[in-house]
């Protein structure tokens, strides 16, 4: 259960980074997304 919570928090952290990067730079870091979600 703790591991699942950690995994969820980690995934949400990646998602949050993508959103922030999208608003600041104007486009998501495609290398980061490809590396983690592929």
> What tens digit of pLDDT does each residue of 3-20 get?
888 888 888 888 888 788
Question: Are 22 and 7 within 8 A, CB to CB?
Answer: no
**Domains identified in the chain, total number:** 1
Q: Residue 21: pLDDT above 50? A: yes
Cα-based angle 31, 20, 36 (whole degrees, multiple of 5): 30
* Mean pLDDT of the chain, nearest integer: 73
Find tokens 């919570």 and name the residue: 5
Domain range for 8 is: 2-37
pLDDT at 7: 87
């Amino acid at each position: 259960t703790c591991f699942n919570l950690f995994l969820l928090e980690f995934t949400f952290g990646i998602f949050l980074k993508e959103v922030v990067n999208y608003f600041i730079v104007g486009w998501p870091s495609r290398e980061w997304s490809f590396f983690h979600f592929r």
